[in-house]
Amino acid sequence: MNTYSVLFVCMGNICRSPTAHGVFRHKVQAQGLAERVHTDSAGTHDYHSGSPPDERAQLHAAQRQYDLSDLRARQIRTNDFVHFDLLLAMDNDNLALMRERCPKIHQGKLRRLTEFCLTHDAKEVPDPYYGGSNGFERVLDLVEDACEGLLQYVQKEIRKKPARPI
């Protein structure tokens, strides 16, 4: 069975990347692809390793029927660049940090999540950490849009990917 794996990355892995992780996981499950698409999230920094997503991120996500409560922050690891098919940064700063750490052979796996937006014209998912409720709602608007485009992309990639031997 062809599988595909996506890692969402922001700075601390408590706001944007777990939101994207939860939204994309929800969309994958709704399409019956949970066994074929693996999703995870990480941060470029280890500020919050082991912590659940920010309470505000969880609250706003829950209002849209996304459960983030089981997610825990972690820092990106070197083997993530090898094991994931696609690593998506929330902004240019974190993308630059990922590029510095990523082995040359895997650089093509690094992109920004907003490249997959279907209706929004945004270059980055802004960090809502120091803002109010509107920031978390804006993140969800962008993430939902991008994850819809990402799901279409991943479905095509699964069809193109050679089956792994059992």
- CATH code of the domain in which 137 resides: 3.40.50.2300
How far apart CA 2 and CA 73 sit, in angstroms, is 28
Residue 37 lies in a domain: yes
pLDDT at 166: 47
Task: For 86-135, write each residue's pLDDT tens digit.
Answer: 999 999 999 999 999 999 999 999 999 999 999 999 999 999 999 889 99
63 domain residue, yes or no:
yes
pLDDT of residue 160: 84
Overall domain count for the chain: 1
Residue 126 maps to a domain: yes
Which residues does the annotation mark as catalytic? 10, 16, 127
What does DSSP assign to residue 25?
H
Flag whether 166 is in a domain.
no
Look at residue 88 and tell me if it is in a domain: yes
* pLDDT exceeds 90 at position 164: no
User: Which domain range does residue 33 map to?
Assistant: 4-160
- Cα–Cα distance for residue pair 116/102, rounded to 1 Å: 21
Rounded distance, CA 66 to CA 76, Å? Answer: 23
pTM of the model: 0.95
165 part of a folded domain: no
